[in-house]
Amino acid sequence: MSNMYRDEVPAYGTLIQLVSDINSQVLQSDRNLKSSLDISDGLDRLSQERHGAIRLGSAAELKTMARIFSVMGMFPVGYYDLAAAGIPVHSTAFRPVSSDALAINPFRMFTSVLRLELIQDESLRELATGIIDSREIFSPSCISLLEKAEADSGLDESDANSFVIAAVETFRWHEQANVSQAIYKDLLGSHRLVADIVSFKGPHINHLTPRTLDIDLAHQTMPQHGIDPKETIEGPPQRDCPILLRQTSFKALEENVNFVDEDSSVSLGSHTARFGEIEQRGIALTPKGRTLYDKLLDKAKGTDSGDYLENLESAFKEFPDNWGELRKQGLAYFQYSVEENNAVPITEENLEDLIDRSVVRFDPIIYEDFLPVSAAGIFQSNLGNDAAQTYAESSSQQDFEIALGKPLRDPFELYEKIQNNSVLAFTE
DSSP letter, residue 122: H
CB neighbour class for 366 (10 Å; exposed up to 12, middle 13-18, buried from 19): buried
* CA distances to 53, 127, 190, 398 from 132, in Å: 19, 9, 16, 22
The CATH number of whichever domain residue 396 belongs to comes to: 3.10.180.80
Measured CA to CA, the distance from residue 56 to residue 60 in angstroms comes to 9
Measured CA to CA, the distance from residue 375 to residue 261 in angstroms comes to 34
Helix (H) or strand (E) holding 76: strand 75-81
Residue 298 lies in a domain: no
Residue 140 lies in a domain: yes
Residue 332 lies in a domain: no
pLDDT of residue 362: 93
Q: Give the structural domain span for 138.
A: 2-284+362-424
Tell me the HSE value of 357 on the side-chain side, using a 13 A CA sphere: 11
DSSP output for 174-204: -SB-SS-HHHHHHHHHH-HHHHHHHSSSS--
Residue 395 lies in a domain: yes
CB neighbour class for 372 (10 Å; exposed up to 12, middle 13-18, buried from 19): middle
Residue 330 lies in a domain: no
CB atoms within 10 A of CB 394: 8
pLDDT of residue 336: 94
pLDDT of residue 114: 94
Measured CA to CA, the distance from residue 357 to residue 353 in angstroms comes to 6
pLDDT of residue 136: 96
CB atoms within 10 A of CB 173: 20
pLDDT of residue 344: 78
Residue 374 lies in a domain: yes
Measured CA to CA, the distance from residue 422 to residue 289 in angstroms comes to 20
E strands, 294-371, in order:
334-338, 360-364
pLDDT of residue 2: 86
Residue among 336, 404, 246 nearest 40 (CA)? 336
Residue 228 lies in a domain: yes
Whole-model pTM: value is 0.89
pLDDT of residue 384: 56
Each residue's pLDDT, cut to its tens digit, for the chain (428 residues) gives 888 888 888 888 888 889 889 988 988 888 888 877 776 666 777 777 789 999 999 999 999 999 999 999 999 999 998 887 788 999 999 999 998 898 888 899 999 999 999 898 999 999 999 999 999 999 999 999 999 999 999 999 999 999 999 999 999 998 999 999 999 999 999 998 999 999 999 999 988 888 999 999 999 998 888 888 888 898 999 999 999 999 988 777 788 999 988 778 888 999 987 888 889 999 999 999 999 999 999 998 887 777 888 899 999 999 999 999 999 999 999 999 997 777 778 888 899 999 998 889 999 999 999 987 766 666 565 555 555 565 655 658 898 999 898 899 999 999 999 999 999 988 86
- Per the CB < 8 A criterion, the answer to whether 90 and 82 are in contact is yes
- Per the CB < 8 A criterion, the answer to whether 144 and 166 are in contact is no
Residue 356 lies in a domain: no
| Residue type for position 335 | Q
Residue among 195, 110, 63 nearest 376 (CA)? 110
Number of structural domains (the chain) is 1
